[in-house]
Amino acid sequence: MRNIKVFMAYRGTNYHGFQRQENALTVQEVVEDCLEKILGEKTQICGCSRTDTGVHALEFCFNFFTDKNIPETGLVRGMNTILPDDISILSCEQAPDDFHARYSCKAKEYIYKIYNAESKNPFSSDLALHYKKPFDVELVSMASKAFIGTHDFKAFCASGSNKESTVRTVYDFSVSKNGNEIIMLVKGDGFLYNMVRIMVGTLLCVNEGKIDAGGIEEIILSKNRVLAGRTAKPHGLYLSRVYY
């Protein structure tokens, strides 16, 4: 059996996240159906992340096992021929038997895109959050640094998460603005359910004066979700990179 490691990108607009569901179309279902056509057998893939409905991926890793001898290049070309235009296979290689897309992952990087203007942008309606209010880059950037480090992020986790530990390490958090585009980038060893979206929503509340710029550390220590900001909408979020 060969363990195949694959990187893909997808636009999440038309999907209810990555993970297969009984009553909704997901990225996993589409990719597995594609592999079944190519390999002639049902194949289950293991993804590096679940990603929510409407969330996108610039670099998403999955792996699967097969005894077929199809070349990696042929697999990339074959899948891209069958897959819809909003899913693209970027690369494919044979990995060690013990490689697992999720459990072997050392870090992940997410970006959140915001279109900051009074008028909406019809070309990014499902790819960036439309945010009308003036945006103070220096203020928000300063506030975001409180996220960096190893903390208990229970206050930034949506209810319903079944994670035993809510401690995570954030390596970097940056905020930049170029014209009408705002990019928030966060890199960490792992993220809780809706964690990045709640962090972004909290920073937007800081920008609006609803949360004090120096108050994020106190919110983290409180472990109280009620004290953190809103959950930013999913369509601005991208899984940008995974590290192994």
| The pair of three-digit structure tokens given for residue 90, joined into one six-digit string | 């970027």
| The pair of three-digit structure tokens given for residue 190, joined into one six-digit string | 């792992």
pLDDT digits (tens, 9 = 90+) for 186-205: 999 999 999 999 999 999 99
pLDDT digits (tens, 9 = 90+) for 96-126: 999 999 999 999 999 999 999 999 999 999 9
Return the residue matching tokens 């900001």: 229
| The pair of three-digit structure tokens given for residue 57, joined into one six-digit string | 């991926």
Is 98 among the catalytic positions? no
- Report pLDDT for 159: 78
Are the CB atoms for 102 and 46 separated by under 8 Å? Answer: yes
Domains of the chain (ranges; CATH) run: 2-95 (3.30.70.580), 107-243 (3.30.70.660)
Phi and psi at 55, nearest 5°, equal: -80, 145
Are the CB atoms for 46 and 98 separated by under 8 Å? Answer: no
Report the predicted TM-score, pTM, of the whole model to 2 decimal places. Answer: 0.94
pLDDT digits (tens, 9 = 90+) for 39-91: 999 999 999 999 999 999 999 999 999 999 999 999 999 999 999 999 999 99
Among the listed residues 52, 86, 136, 172, the single catalytic one is 52
What average pLDDT does the chain have?
Answer: 96
